[in-house]
Structure 1
Amino acid sequence: MRIVLVGPPGAGKGTQAAYLAKNLAIPHISTGDLFRANISQGTPLGQKAQEYMRAGQLVPDEVTIGMAKDRMQQADAAHGFLLDGFPRNLAQAEALDEILKADGLGLDAVLDLEVPEDEVVKRIAGRRMCRKDSSHIFHVIYNPPAAEGVCDVCGGELYQREDDSEETVRKRLEVYHSETEPIIDYYKAQGLVVTISALGKVAEVTQRAMGALPSREDA
């Protein structure tokens, strides 16, 4: 099964991608992992990406597309994959179609995680990280520490990342609406989009997603 996962920042795409990929026994391919792997391995594409990133510039679509193409052609993705963070815009979506078409393949579904904008802001702006260990994450509403501003695990100071401020979150949402949301209409025209609510507990959302995806027999 070949699936694209879309949704605004804060929709829980990374979390759901990991669970869905495990349940479906297909690799989870995220843009972040692609960049990290190519840069750490010093591939030509990784070197190109690093040059742009060091210059404070956006990495061109062709570099991201090249990384995704290489990853999708690896042996573990022969029977399917779940793409998280790619495609991010129409140009990338069209390129993905061409890559798959060249091998006589196509997508089975585009899973759209739907979350109200105010909930996105609440989820991200409420996050607090531990300065001693960034893996210790709390939330002022959903997972508050026992003592305000203090990590329950190691006693480190909790802080709000600059990227998690409400102003930054709303800017990220604007980018999502202008650049990524149009791919939903693009895939709707192909009859591929399955929209589910991403509200509720992680397991509930996963169950909802699994029930909405086409069966392996249909795919």
Structure 2
Amino acid sequence: MVNIILFGPPGSGKGTQSANLIEKYGLIHLATGDLLRSEIADKTPLGMEAKKVIDQGLLVPDEVVIGMISSKLDANPEARGFIFDGFPRTTAQAEALDKLLSLKKTSISNVLALEVPEDQLIARLLNRGATSGRSDDANEDVIRARIVEYHNKTAPVADHYAKYGKFKKIRGEGEVSEIFDRLSKEIDSLIEEKV
């Protein structure tokens, strides 16, 4: 099983590349936001617990999110692997995820971090804001704050996985197909190691 955490600041192309990787490798996309919405819509016990917290304007506790991830793993026993998107965001979440995966007799294969210069991120997001109507992509100050927040929060998670030799920076500049080829090369080598 190949389990990838795809990292990258806002505008780095994670969504586009995730979709391409899922299609090529048959991995399951595990986006915590989607999981939360699905569990709430299905009125599962975890979903109802999460809804109570969200309705109070609070963040869903890590143990609830880990429970949802556990359910998703259990629901897909034949999966070739997973792409984790939007989780883990903190070292505590990374440690909890590692513990869960260990219980399931698997682990994170690698963290692939898309690296894009800040000026390009801003240009991409402003362009997306002009075409998508997303208000958080239309204001350069908001974009800069989101990029700073990303670096502050995710740097410790990167350090956590780097300790285990499971962190790789991928140049996120160029054509979508070029970036995809760089990511594929890394995943292909992970798959070869597993065989």
Give the number of the structure whose residues are more often helix, by fraction. 2
Q: CA deviation at 1:56?
A: 2.0
Structure number with higher relative contact order (C-alpha < 8 Å, ≥ 6 residues apart): 2
TM-score normalised by structure 2 residue count: 0.89
- In structure 2, the residue matched to 1:162 is 135
Q: CA deviation at 1:32?
A: 2.1
2:160 corresponds, among 186, 191, 195, to 186
Q: CA deviation at 1:51?
A: 2.1
Indicate yes or no: 2:158 matched with 1:217: no
What CA distance in whole angstroms lies between the structure 1 residues aligned with 2:103 and 2:112?
23
Q: CA deviation at 1:127?
A: 2.3
Cα offsets for 1:188-219 (capped at 9, x unmatched): 11001121111122121111110123242203
- In structure 1, the residue matched to 2:150 is 176
Shift in alpha-carbon separation, 1:32–1:77, aligned structure 2, 3 A: farther
- Equivalent position amino acid for 2:99 in 1: E
Shift in alpha-carbon separation, 1:114–1:77, aligned structure 2, 3 A: farther
- Tell me, yes or no, if the aligned pair for 2:26 and 2:80 is still in contact at 8 Å: no
Q: CA deviation at 1:77?
A: 5.6
Cα offsets for 1:24-53 (capped at 9, x unmatched): 111111122112211111112222222222
Moved over 6 A (4+): none
Indicate yes or no: 2:44 matched with 1:69: no
Say how many residue pairs are matched: 191
- Equivalent position amino acid for 1:216 in 2: I
1:203 corresponds, among 167, 171, 177, to 177
Q: CA deviation at 1:125?
A: 2.4
What CA distance in whole angstroms lies between the structure 1 residues aligned with 2:128 and 2:27?
30
Map 1:23-172; keep pairs closer than 5 Å. Answer: 23-75=24-76, 78-128=79-129, 137=131, 160-164=133-137, 165-172=139-146
Shift in alpha-carbon separation, 1:44–1:218, aligned structure 2, 3 A: same
TM-score normalised by structure 1 residue count: 0.80
Cα offsets for 1:102-152 (capped at 9, x unmatched): 1222221111111112222221123246xxxxxxx36xxxxxxxxxxxxxx
Shift in alpha-carbon separation, 1:51–1:168, aligned structure 2, 3 A: farther
What CA distance in whole angstroms lies between the structure 2 residues aligned with 1:6 and 1:62?
21
What CA distance in whole angstroms lies between the structure 2 residues aligned with 1:38 and 1:204?
36
- Tell me, yes or no, if the aligned pair for 2:3 and 2:82 is still in contact at 8 Å: yes
**Gaps spanning 5+ residues in structure 1: where?**
130-136, 139-159
**Gaps spanning 5+ residues in structure 2: where?**
none
Shift in alpha-carbon separation, 1:62–1:79, aligned structure 2, 3 A: same
